[in-house]
Structure 1
Amino acid sequence: MAATKKKAVRKAKKGERIRQVAAIPFRLSEHGDIEVMLVTSRTTRRFIVPKGWPMKGKSGRKAAMIEAQEEAGVLGKIMKEPAGTYSYWKRLENRFVRVDVIVFLLEVTEELANWPEAKKRERAWLTPIDAALLIDEPDLSTLLKTLKRPQPAPDDLI
């Protein structure tokens, strides 16, 4: 278990809310419409966005980009400003904790054939409306439904 997850679990045991970061990988279809990628969770196999714990020494958007590579096998340009936030209940060993998630948009430039969690997850490209229907978290579902093609400023990408 990563040190940041251990720290988060300690906070959760004290009743404090904890934080994660997430990426919504997106691309444009041949018609110029936005499509988003969802991945299945390892345990329940529900569709989710790639997400994880903050990483020591890395910004939230950099950590979200790393999670997208590990969980969804995608590389790309991540937007500077968060696209939004959502909260959900995370199952720990013997309790549920409330987690606040900061979401960043990741413009996919490359899909990897092999990636760290390829054997543990499935990935799917969907319209934002279809993705919103598959997502259990209401705030994330709303964020997906209202997703518009980002117009990054020249210095907005890393």
Structure 2
Amino acid sequence: MNTKQQPIQLNASQKHGVRTQFGALCYRVNNDKVQVLLVTSRGAGRWIIPKGWPMDQQTPASAAAQEAFEEAGVEGKIENICLGIFSYVKSRNVEDELPCVVAVFPMKVKRLLRKFPEAKERNRRWFSVKKAASMVSEPELAQIIRAFEPALLPR
């Protein structure tokens, strides 16, 4: 299935333009099978990848790695390669919806921490690539996950 980038719907009542975030596609290879780590969102409890806002003095990839540590409690090697971009609308409240685009960077997880900043606010779980793609709400993110192949990353 070839999913095209979905347009972001903007309406006149939105006070803000489109914002950029950086996300980490956290993965490991277990018994020759790629697994993806997803976390739950704080609000609705949806399955998502760790993501967040740009950070001063950090590259997009290092900002994504920082979010992966804070939201998922992982340490590992982040690649400075954007796997793709997906869009979503961040709902802070009924009147304040913020359209966002997220650049996704692959992160090979080397260590899963028991204690991390958002441990009490989120759940995390490993999924097969196929299952992870079916668990996320955003079609573009699902396509990025389905197409992900760590063996194709530069060494």
TM-score tier by shorter-chain length is 0.7 to 0.9
Q: Find the counterpart in structure 1 of residue 110 from structure 2.
A: 109
Residue 68 (1) aligns with residue 68 (2): yes
Residue 146 (1) aligns with residue 147 (2): yes
> More helix by proportion, 1 or 2?
1
Q: Find the counterpart in structure 2 of residue 47 from structure 1.
A: 47
Percent identity at matched positions?
36
User: Residues of 1 paired with 2:145 and 2:119: CA distance?
Assistant: 24
Q: Find the counterpart in structure 2 of residue 122 from structure 1.
A: 123
The CA RMSD over aligned residues, in Å, is 1.5
User: Residues of 1 paired with 2:72 and 2:151: CA distance?
Assistant: 21
Q: Find the counterpart in structure 1 of residue 4 from structure 2.
A: none
Count of aligned pairs between the two proteins = 142
Higher RCO (C-alpha under 8 Å, 6+ residues apart)? 2
User: Residues of 2 paired with 1:71 and 1:90: CA distance?
Assistant: 17
Q: Find the counterpart in structure 1 of residue 81 from structure 2.
A: 81
Q: Taking structure 1 as the reference length, what is the TM-score of the superposition?
A: 0.85
Q: Find the counterpart in structure 2 of residue 59 from structure 1.
A: 59
> More strand by proportion, 1 or 2?
2
**For structure 2, which runs of at least 5 residues remain unmatched after alignment?**
1-13
Q: Taking structure 2 as the reference length, what is the TM-score of the superposition?
A: 0.86
